[in-house]
Amino acid sequence: MIKAITGTKDILPPEIPKWKLLESIVNNVFKNFNYKEIRTPIFEETSLFARGIGEETDIVGKEMYTFLDRSQTSVTLKPEMTASVVRAFNEHSLGKLQSLNKFFYISPMFRQERPQAGRQRQFHQFGSEAIGGSSPLLDAELIIIAYNILKLLGLKDLTVKINSLGVPQSREKYKNLLREFLSGSKNYLSEDSRKRFDQNILRIFDSKVESDQEILKNAPLMIDYIDEESKNDFEVVKNLLAESKVPFEIDPKLVRGLDYYTKTTFEIVSGKVGSQSALCGGGRYDLLVEQLGGAPTPGVGFAAGMERILLACENENSLNIPKEEIDLYIIKIDKDLSSKVFELSLNFRNDNLVVEFDYLDRSVKAQMREANKLNAKFVLFLGGDEYKSGKLNLKNMSTGEQQLVDVNNYHQLSEFIKK
Ligand code: AMP
């Protein structure tokens, strides 16, 4: 038997209602904040991600699904959305049509990581990119959007962490300070962190190794070395969050994995999903649009992992999903009424009712069992003596009441059932 590829998951029908609920909340919240949906292709030229995300990052260095297509072009299944949205923004000169573009998306993503709870190789993200504004109001707005969506899902055990990485000039100075601080203890760092020391020193803060964290305990913190403008913007973000009643904590070690961030970065973590606790993360990327060939244009965005969010919902038992039901089940009493039951259900379905009947020529008893299993609100019995005089028996399944209805007047019946 062929099975799904490691790290991918089928989303089977019983799970769909919670996905639909999440998607509808995402759609609604973004609509209220006037974000427009964008959909980009599943794969892109590899160079987009290499240039956009950064060669030294984990994503580009070891997680991308990259392959040569038949024309020997190197293509990659998208591991995240920001680079793709910026590519589309540049390609269609969207900045010329509108000075500020606020996008949102829902899309599968692909990363070849070690699968574990909350970590898959194909997973789904929703998220947003606001391109064209440097105002910290946008940073705060995005954090609030992400927080609101999680709150609307009923999640309680949430922590919003924020930090500022400053601009590249201040960051370079800080990196030198950190390098100086760590130079004496470099040999005591873990292998990964030693690599990061040379390639992407800020990411040392992401290390989960205890001895690394011990060494980092007294390290200088970037937040103390950022430039004036970043500092002021960070103050604005903090004040707006406080005024909007979004509880947050400052995490000076929140550097995030990607190269393109400037100024504000943030993450929302759940206390209920184990070690892969980040539900969403994002930040400002004022240099990325230019880096990918566009005019200098500031941007800010975030991405949220949908599987992980649903896992948190499950663990907090926060979703109240109504049980699935159908409006009408038509029970065929006489076996030779197959084309009649087909026609009748088509009429009701065209009247926008959810209708089911038996395709397998089962007994009346088995059909009744099926109607119960499907939580039918009404059952209509097709056949018998009444049918000869143009009448059918309709049973209300919640009250048990039965009544004779006119088989030819199905519009009226549809209205009755809808009520
Ligand atoms: P990132 O783009 O790495 O900042 O990820 C943003 C969010 O996507 C994370 O906070 C996770 O919720 C989710 N995410 C990232 N990688 C995975 C993965 N391999 N499997 C499931 N969710 C993921």
Which has more confidence, 58 or 295?
A: 295
Mean pLDDT of the chain: 94
Boundary of a domain, candidates 282, 316, 350: 316
Q: Does any domain span residue 78?
A: yes
Average pLDDT over residues 360-369: 96
Which of the four pLDDT bands, split at 50, 70 and 90, describes residue 275?
A: confident
Under a CB-based contact definition with an 8 Å cutoff, are residues 204 and 185 in contact?
no
* pLDDT of 267: 97
Whether 90 and 231 map to the same domain: the answer is: yes
196 in contact with ligand 1, CB cutoff 6 A: no
Whether 272 and 157 map to the same domain: the answer is: yes
Boundary of a domain, candidates 291, 316, 341: 316
120 in contact with ligand 1, CB cutoff 6 A: yes
* pLDDT of 304: 98
259 in contact with ligand 1, CB cutoff 6 A: no
Six token digits for residue 337: 């009424």
Q: Does any domain span residue 205?
A: no
Six token digits for residue 291: 């880096």
CA–centroid distance, residue 128 to ligand 1 (Å) = 14
Which of the four pLDDT bands, split at 50, 70 and 90, describes residue 328?
A: very high
Which range marks the domain in which residue 376 is found?
326-418
Cα torsion for 281, 287, 291, 292, to the nearest 10°? 50
Q: Does any domain span residue 208?
A: no
Cβ-proximal residues to 108 (8 Å cutoff; 6+ apart), any chain: 42, 122, 123, 124
110 in contact with ligand 1, CB cutoff 6 A: no
pLDDT tens readout for residues 185-204: 989 999 989 988 888 888 88
Mutation probe of ligand 1 site: the residue of 78, 121, 125, 265 with most atoms within 8 A of C-beta? 125
122 in contact with ligand 1, CB cutoff 6 A: no
Boundary of a domain, candidates 298, 316, 334: 316
Whether 345 and 312 map to the same domain: the answer is: no
CA–CA distance from 251 to each of 73, 166, 205, 255 (Å)?
Answer: 41, 14, 11, 9
* pLDDT of 389: 86
CA–centroid distance, residue 137 to ligand 1 (Å) = 25
H helices of 78-217, in order, are 82-91, 94-97, 136-152, 168-183, 191-199, 210-216
Of all protein residues, whose CA lies closest to atom 11 belonging to ligand 1? 305
Cβ-proximal residues to 194 (8 Å cutoff; 6+ apart), any chain: 186, 187
Whether 336 and 284 map to the same domain: the answer is: no
Whether 145 and 292 map to the same domain: the answer is: yes
123 in contact with ligand 1, CB cutoff 6 A: yes
Whether 276 and 350 map to the same domain: the answer is: no
Q: Report how far apart the first and last C-alpha atoms of the chain are (Å, whole number).
A: 47
CATH of the domain at 67: 3.30.930.10
Q: Please list the residues that pair with 331 across neighbouring strands.
A: 381
Q: Does any domain span residue 282?
A: yes
Residue 325 has pLDDT above 80, yes or no: yes
User: What's the helix, strand, coil split of the chain in %, to 5?
Assistant: 45, 25, 35
Whether 288 and 332 map to the same domain: the answer is: no
Of all protein residues, whose CA lies closest to atom 8 belonging to ligand 1? 305
Of all protein residues, whose CA lies closest to atom 23 belonging to ligand 1? 305
Rounded CA-CA distance 82/101 in Å is 13
CA–centroid distance, residue 303 to ligand 1 (Å) = 8
Under a CB-based contact definition with an 8 Å cutoff, are residues 63 and 122 in contact?
no
Helix 16-32 vs helix 136-152: crossing angle, to nearest 10: 150
Q: What long-range pairs does 69-74 form, CB within 8 A, spacing at least 24?
A: 73/45, 74/45, 74/46, 74/47
294 in contact with ligand 1, CB cutoff 6 A: no
Residue 169 has pLDDT above 80, yes or no: yes
Which has more confidence, 209 or 248?
A: 248
206 in contact with ligand 1, CB cutoff 6 A: no
81 in contact with ligand 1, CB cutoff 6 A: no
CA–centroid distance, residue 120 to ligand 1 (Å) = 9
Whether 332 and 288 map to the same domain: the answer is: no
Sign of CA dihedral 313, 316, 320, 321: positive
Smallest CA-to-CA distance from 241 within 296, 159, 359, 311 is with 159
Whether 344 and 306 map to the same domain: the answer is: no
pLDDT tens readout for residues 211-244: 999 999 999 998 899 999 999 999 999 999 999 9
Whether 278 and 232 map to the same domain: the answer is: yes
Q: Does any domain span residue 187?
A: no
Average pLDDT over residues 29-49: 97
Six token digits for residue 48: 């987009």
Say how far residue 405 (Cα) sits from the centre of its chain: 47
Q: Does any domain span residue 3?
A: no
CATH of the domain at 380: 3.40.50.800
Whether 333 and 312 map to the same domain: the answer is: no
Q: Does any domain span residue 202?
A: no
Smallest CA-to-CA distance from 41 within 111, 94, 108 is with 108
Q: Does any domain span residue 288?
A: yes
Which of the four pLDDT bands, split at 50, 70 and 90, describes residue 257?
A: low
Whether 347 and 236 map to the same domain: the answer is: no
Q: What is the DSSP letter of 305?
A: E
Residue 355 has pLDDT above 80, yes or no: yes
pLDDT tens readout for residues 373-417: 999 999 999 998 888 888 999 999 999 999 999 988 889 999 999
40-49, 96-105, 170-179, range with the lowest pLDDT: 170-179
**Upper half-sphere CA count for residue 57 (Cβ side, 13 Å):** 20
Total domains present in the chain: 2
* pLDDT of 54: 80
194 in contact with ligand 1, CB cutoff 6 A: no
Cβ-proximal residues to 294 (8 Å cutoff; 6+ apart), any chain: 86, 89, 90, 95
Residue 258 has pLDDT above 70, yes or no: no
Give the three-state DSSP class for 106.
strand
